[in-house]
Chain A
C-alpha cells in the first residue's frame, strides 16, 4: 500500500504547515507556525530548549492534538493514514530494556505490520548486536536501535528529535553520516536540534525557532547574511569586564572566550581591548571571525542559543 506522491514542478512539499497553534493549558507553546519542508531535503529546526521544537514534532509524528492550523503530508491532511509516511526517532529510547535488539524490532514490526525481513536488513545495516538486551546497549547503539525501529516500515519522511544529544563525538559523526545516507536514498529528513553545529553540518535549510515562533528560515548562508554589516570579534583568554562591554555590544560568552558583534571593527577593536585590559583581563588571542548561526540567533533574539 505504497502511495505515490504527485509531483508538480521540481520540488514538492513533503510537509506543509500553516498557522499552527498549540497550547498546554494557558501556555502557548506554538504561536502560529508556517513551514514548508521539501521532499528529499534535510530540514533543521534550530532553537534553544523550550522553543517548541518537540511540540511541533510530536504533532507531526505522534498525533498530538493542536488548536489551530493546517498540516499536509504529501498533499494530504495529517491523519492516521499519513502516519505511515513518517518515521519518528524520539529523543528518549523507545526500546524495552529487558528485550533484546531483535525482540524489540520484532515487537515494533508486529505493531506496524512490517515485513520480517526488514528486521534483519536493519540489524545488518546498523551493525546492531541482535542478541543483546536493550539495557546493555551504549548510548550510540540505543539511538541506532531507535532509528532502526522508525525505519521498519520504510517511511518517506524521517523525523529526528535532538538526534545527537548525549552522544560522544565519534557516535555523533557516525549518526550524521547515516542521516546523510538516508537523504541520498531519497528520504526527507526533519530534525530538531539546539546544536548549531549539527544544523550547519547536516541541513539544507534551517528554521530558527524561539518561544513558539519561527524567527528566520533559510540556508545556513542565507541566515548568516542576516548578520549584515556586522563583524564578529573573538577574544580568548582570562577575561574580566565583560559586563561593561555588554552595555555597548551584543556578545556571546563561552568558557574562556567571547564573541562580540560590532558594526565597525576598526573603531571598536581598540575600545574593546582597552576596556578588557583595564578591567584586568589577560588576552591570549583576538581576531575577526566569520559569523555563525549562534551569532545569528543572538542578533535576532538577544539571547544565547545553548
Chain B
C-alpha cells in the first residue's frame, strides 16, 4: 500500500472530474434538478383547503328560529389555518347551480328545500341535497370529506341543542325521588343518539413531508447512476488508455489504483450528497440530517454501488456497454425498487426487488430511520442483509478486476 500513490490517484481523479462538464452535470446538477422538479410538484405543505360551494334555498316568509340562512353564516365562518374553508355562492335555481358544478365553477352544490327552516325549528327531520362532481376521484374525495364533515359536526351541535330543549320540557315530569338528575338523562339521550364517540388521534408526532422523501430518492439516484458510472467508466478509461498498465508497472500496484479509485468515487458521491442535502434546505427549507447509523447505511450502499459498477465494467470491458447496462438496469429500478416512488405504490410483483435488492432495501431502511424515526432494532435485519449482499458483490468485483489485470499482463 503506497499512500503517496493512492493520494496522487485521488487528487488526479478529482481534478479530472472538475474539468469534465458532462460528468459534473450528471453527478451534481441532474440530481438537484430532480429534487427541484419533484419537490415543487408534489413537495412542501398542501395549501389549506378552500372550496367554492353553491347554495340554493327558498326565502320564505315564515319566521323560524333557525333557517338555511343561519347554516350558511356558520359555514362562512369556518376557518382552517386562518383561511375560510367555504366560499358561498348563491344560486336562485337548482338548474343553474348544477350547471355551474358541471363546468367546474363550484366544487359542490347544497340545496335546502323549502320548509328546511320550519322542520329544523319544529324538531322534525330536515332534508338537504348535496351535489358533487365525481369526474376527478381525488378531488371528489376531498370535497365530499370536507362538506360532509361540516354537516356531521353541525348535526352533532344541533343534536345537543335539541336534547337540551327536550330536557327543559321533560324536567317537570321527572320524579324527584328516583335520584335521576337531568345530567344523567342528558347523557343517556346523547348516547342513544350517538352510541359511539369516535375521537381521532395521530400516532407519530412528526409527519414526514414529501420533500424528505425526494431527498432520499436523490440519494438513491446517486447510487444507481453516478456512483456506478464514475467508477466503472473511470477504470475502463484507464485500461483503454494504457495508464492502468503504466500504474501497475510503477512501484504502485493495481490494488493501490483500485483503492484510490474507490476512495475518489466515494468522496465525489459524498460531496454530491452533501450538496443535495444543503440544496434542499436552501430551496425548500427542509432537509435530512442523517444519524451516524444513517451515514453507515449510505456508506454500505455506496460500497455496494461501486462494486456493482466495477463488476459491470469488468464484465463488459467497454465504456459504451457499461453505460448502456447501467442505464438499462437502473432506469426501471428507480421505480421497481421503490427509489423514487413509495414502496406502497410499487406493484406487488416488484415488491421483492425493493426488499431484496440492496440499494432498494438500503433506501427503505434509511427512510424508516431518518424520516419515520423507527427504532434501530427494526433496521437491523435489513442492515445485515445489505451488508451480506455488499460483501458478495464486492468480492465479485475484485475477482473480475484481478482477472482484467491478469489480461493486461498476458
A189: interface (CB < 8 Å): no
| 59-95 of chain A: CB within 8 A of chain B | 61-65, 80, 83-84, 88, 90, 92, 94
Q: Which of B11, B251, B410 interacts with A112 by CB under 8 Å?
A: B251
B48: interface (CB < 8 Å): no
A109 closest partner in B (C-beta): B8
B87: interface (CB < 8 Å): no
A53: interface (CB < 8 Å): no
B248: interface (CB < 8 Å): yes
A169: interface (CB < 8 Å): no
A211: interface (CB < 8 Å): no
A65 closest partner in B (C-beta): B409
Known contacts A98-B15, A113-B2, A113-B5: A83-B242 contact under CB 8 Å = no
Specify the main secondary structure of chain B where it touches its partner: helix
Cβ contact within 8 Å between B15 and A111: no
Cβ contact within 8 Å between B248 and A107: no
Q: Which of A88, A103, A106, A110 interacts with B249 by CB under 8 Å?
A: A88
Cβ contact within 8 Å between B248 and A63: yes
Known contacts A62-B245, A65-B409, A65-B410: A96-B250 contact under CB 8 Å = no
B-side contacts of A64, CB under 8 Å? 409-410
Known contacts A96-B16, A111-B250: A106-B8 contact under CB 8 Å = yes
Cβ contact within 8 Å between B15 and A112: no
Cβ contact within 8 Å between B12 and A92: no
Cβ contact within 8 Å between A99 and B16: yes
| 207-252 of chain A: CB within 8 A of chain B | none
Looking at the assembled complex, report how far the CB atom of B22 sits from the nearest CB atom of chain A, in whole angstroms: 12
A-side contacts of B242, CB under 8 Å? 90, 92, 94
Complex CA distance for A177 and B385, rounded to whole angstroms: 64
Looking at the assembled complex, report how far the CB atom of A280 sits from the nearest CB atom of chain B, in whole angstroms: 50
Chain B 1-45 per-residue mask, 1 if CB under 8 angstroms from chain A, else 0: 010110111011001100110000000000000000000000000
B247: interface (CB < 8 Å): yes
| 253-309 of chain B: CB within 8 A of chain A | none
Complex CA distance for A99 and B20, rounded to whole angstroms: 11
B89: interface (CB < 8 Å): no
Known contacts A94-B243, A96-B243, A98-B20: A107-B11 contact under CB 8 Å = yes
Complex CA distance for A109 and B9, rounded to whole angstroms: 11
Looking at the assembled complex, report how far the CB atom of A134 sits from the nearest CB atom of chain B, in whole angstroms: 11
Q: Which of A63, A106, A111 interacts with B5 by CB under 8 Å?
A: A111
B252: interface (CB < 8 Å): yes
A-side contacts of B409, CB under 8 Å? 63-65
Complex CA distance for A31 and B327, rounded to whole angstroms: 46
Looking at the assembled complex, report how far the CB atom of A302 sits from the nearest CB atom of chain B, in whole angstroms: 33
B134: interface (CB < 8 Å): no
B93: interface (CB < 8 Å): no
B-side contacts of A103, CB under 8 Å? 12, 15
Cβ contact within 8 Å between B249 and A63: yes
Cβ contact within 8 Å between B12 and A83: no
A-side contacts of B105, CB under 8 Å? none
Looking at the assembled complex, report how far the CB atom of B2 sits from the nearest CB atom of chain A, in whole angstroms: 7
Chain B 223-258 per-residue mask, 1 if CB under 8 angstroms from chain A, else 0: 000000000000000000111011111111000000
Known contacts A90-B242, A92-B242, A99-B15: A110-B5 contact under CB 8 Å = yes
B250 closest partner in A (C-beta): A111
A-side contacts of B251, CB under 8 Å? 80, 83-84, 111-113
B-side contacts of A108, CB under 8 Å? 250
A-side contacts of B20, CB under 8 Å? 98
Complex CA distance for A187 and B317, rounded to whole angstroms: 39
Complex CA distance for A84 and B251, rounded to whole angstroms: 8
Known contacts A63-B409, A65-B409: A96-B249 contact under CB 8 Å = no
Looking at the assembled complex, report how far the CB atom of A299 sits from the nearest CB atom of chain B, in whole angstroms: 36
A-side contacts of B11, CB under 8 Å? 106-107, 110
Cβ contact within 8 Å between B12 and A96: yes
Complex CA distance for A94 and B241, rounded to whole angstroms: 7
B-side contacts of A83, CB under 8 Å? 249-251
A63 closest partner in B (C-beta): B249
B-side contacts of A113, CB under 8 Å? 2, 4-5, 251
Looking at the assembled complex, report how far the CB atom of A286 sits from the nearest CB atom of chain B, in whole angstroms: 48
Known contacts A110-B5, A113-B4: A62-B249 contact under CB 8 Å = yes
The 3 A-B pairs of least Cβ separation, nearest first, read A110-B8, A98-B19, A62-B249
23 residue pairs from A and B, CB less than 8 Å apart: A24-B410, A62-B245, A62-B246, A64-B410, A65-B409, A80-B251, A83-B249, A83-B251, A92-B241, A92-B242, A96-B16, A98-B16, A98-B20, A99-B12, A106-B11, A107-B11, A110-B5, A110-B7, A111-B2, A111-B5, A111-B252, A112-B250, A113-B4
